[in-house]
Amino acid sequence: MESDPQKQRPPRTDWQTYRRLVRYAKPYWGRVLLGTIFGVVFGTSMAGMIVGLGKVIGMVFGTDADLPWGVRLGIAAILPTFAIVRGVGDYLSTYFIEWVGNRAVMDLRRDTFEHMQQLSLFYYQRTKTGELISRVVNDSQMVERAVAGVLADLCKQPFALLAVLVALLWSDFRLAMVGLLLFPICLVPVLLFGRRVRRFAREGQEKIADLVSILQETITGVRIVKAFGMEDYENGRFARQCGEVFHRAMKVVRARAAVEPIIVALSTVGISLFLLYTMHSKVTLPQFVVFAASLVALYEPVKKLFRIHLQVQQSSASADRIFELMDTPITVVERPGAAGLEGGVREVAFDQVSFGYEAEPVLRDISFRVGAGRRVALVGGSGAGKTTLVSLIPRFYDVTAGRVMVNGRDIREYTLKSLRRQIGIVTQETILFNDTVANNIAYGHAHAAREAVIEAARRAHAHDFILAMPEGYDTIIGERGVRLSGGQCQRLAIGIPRRSGRCRRRWTS
């Protein structure tokens, strides 16, 4: 059985999560390379603008006043030229890297959903629907926002920082070294608050999952809520959960908001040292301007690089929840070399079958045979295992002992798809999708002929009311068939296993 999702696995380290996320970007390394190249262009143009500014100041205030006019015009053109180059590099780097980030998260979403489709019913019985929806939608959205932004900054800001540092060192080596000593000090609040951000972010995502669960329950059970006059109760329950989400979100905000003021305060120390240095040394005006502009230009990449750590911590909490879902083991798997089930079902047999949910036994030593054309009714009290027994035939679960056989062979020797295509199921709960009438009847057979669909509807006594609908078989019936009556929904559900002439077994649980 799949493990209970609420049971905590050993916590992943940051690097384990990072490496796993990065693997989703590897197929698009070409765009990552292009984004990095334009990030280099963006960064070096920053240094060019600063050096050019120093030249312009020298020209305007007389230190380079004897330069020819042609040279002066060339120097004056430096700033707009580098500004244009910087803008182009910024745009293209952001575009390519955010494309990779968004595409990687799209692939992550698809892999998560595909993995969910392979999990057995036991997992879904032990997991809240809202929890699953939240992991696929909310958690992946949190990762998407962070990954795209983080990758874009990682491919631009380090080069901008390096280029500005070069300009700073070129201006005054000793003063630049004093400024660099402040960087390790600025890391302390980032690392300290980063851990808190990750913890609070995970708690927040779990509270959002609970909120989605309440929303899903009340929408699905809206008839019951209204029938018993429980609107106020549900409003209160939803409001309390909204409050929990709000409080966790504010914890993240407080942790993130505390970092930047601390960094700014530490940065003012560097500025003060710079001013003291200029008072007691012979610094020319161009040197002063270059150094001051470098300090200002350093602020943006430093701030964004420090913020990256907080963003990664916040997104890692969501990524961990997604990977927990993806790491849930698949228990109902096909055997190597499984054969396709062809020619219809001639016999279904249970051979000393036992089954239980974890340590809870449900069926013990069940044996019987059902041949083609026979009808069998399973009778028993609530919880006796009737639905469970039926669910073993299409391998929604695997038996814990014994064998379920079709046509004399263990069903585990057949491929899942071929086995399930031979079995029609009408459950107690009517399941219909927000699609056309025809597509609902043909569900599982995308290329079913319209004639076969109509014949299935006739046999289910649904053809007449379908023709009376606005667009007949092409009418959209709404989510869960909300535009149909209860009886019409049941007729369509009965028509689904009748849509093909192949031999099938229909079990009503």
Q: Which residue has the tokens 């009886």?
A: 487
Evaluate whether 491 touches 460 at the Cβ level (below 8 Å): yes
- Which pLDDT score is estimated for 132? 85
**CATH value of 347-421 in 2.60.40.10, 3.40.50.300, 1.20.140.150, 3.30.70.330:** 3.40.50.300
Tell whether the torsion through CA atoms of 244, 249, 252 and 257 is positive or negative.
Answer: negative
Given a contact cutoff of 8 angstroms between Cβ atoms, the answer to whether 311 and 195 are in contact is no
In this structure, which amino acid lies at residue 57?
A: I
Domain range list for the chain: 14-326, 347-421, 437-508
Is the domain defined by 437-508 classed in CATH 3.40.50.300?
yes
- 259: closest CA among 194, 209, 189? 189
Amino acid in the structure at residue 348: V
Per-residue pLDDT at 63 = 53
Whole-angstrom distance, CA of residue 469 vs CA of residue 27:
48
- Decide if 392 contacts 419 (C-beta within 8 A): no
Give the dihedral of Cα atoms 196, 198, 200, 205; nearest 10 deg: 180
CATH number of 14-326: 1.20.1560.10
Handedness of CA 240, 259, 145, 88 (dihedral sign): positive
Q: Are strands 360-371 and 423-426 parallel, antiparallel or unpaired?
A: unpaired
At 66, is the secondary structure helix, strand, or coil?
A: coil
C-alpha separations of 299 from 40, 160, 267, 377 in Å: 18, 11, 8, 76
Q: Which pairs with CB-CB distance under 8 Å and at least 24 residues apart come from 176-184?
A: 178/270, 178/273, 178/277, 179/270, 179/273, 179/274, 179/295, 179/298, 182/266, 182/267, 182/269, 182/270, 183/302
Domain 347-421 and domain 437-508 have a common topology: yes
Q: What is the pLDDT of residue 300?
A: 76
**pTM (global) more than 0.85:** no
Q: Which residues contact 67 (CB under 8 A, 6 or more apart)?
A: 59, 75
**Residue 44: which of 297, 286, 309, 356 has the closest Cα?**
297
Contact indicator for 400, 356 with CB cutoff of 8 Å:
yes
DSSP conformation letters of 194-217: HHHHHHHHHHHHHHHHHHHHHHHH
Task: Tell me how far CA of residue 367 lies from CA of 335, 374, 388, 389, 424, in angstroms.
Answer: 24, 17, 15, 11, 22
10 Cβ neighbours under 8 A, 6+ residues apart? none
CA angle 91, 94, 100 (to 5 degrees): 140
User: Is the alpha carbon torsion for 49, 54, 58, 63 positive or negative?
Assistant: negative
Q: In the 3-class helix/strand/coil scheme, how is 437-458 assigned residue by residue?
A: HHHHHCCCCCCCCHHHHHHHHH
Q: Residue-wise pLDDT tens for the chain (509 aa)?
A: 444 444 445 555 566 777 788 888 889 999 999 999 998 998 888 877 777 777 777 666 655 556 666 666 776 677 788 888 888 998 999 899 889 988 888 899 899 998 988 888 888 878 888 888 888 888 888 888 777 778 888 888 888 888 887 777 776 676 667 666 666 666 677 667 767 777 787 788 788 888 888 887 787 777 777 777 788 888 888 898 888 888 888 888 887 777 777 777 776 776 677 677 667 766 677 777 777 777 777 777 877 777 777 777 777 778 888 898 888 888 888 888 888 888 788 889 999 999 887 767 888 898 999 888 888 888 887 778 888 888 888 888 888 899 999 998 999 999 988 888 888 776 666 777 778 888 888 877 767 788 888 888 888 888 888 888 888 888 888 777 777 777 787 777 776 665 444 444 444 44
**Could you give the CA distance from residue 292 to residue 391 in angstroms, rounded to a whole number?**
73
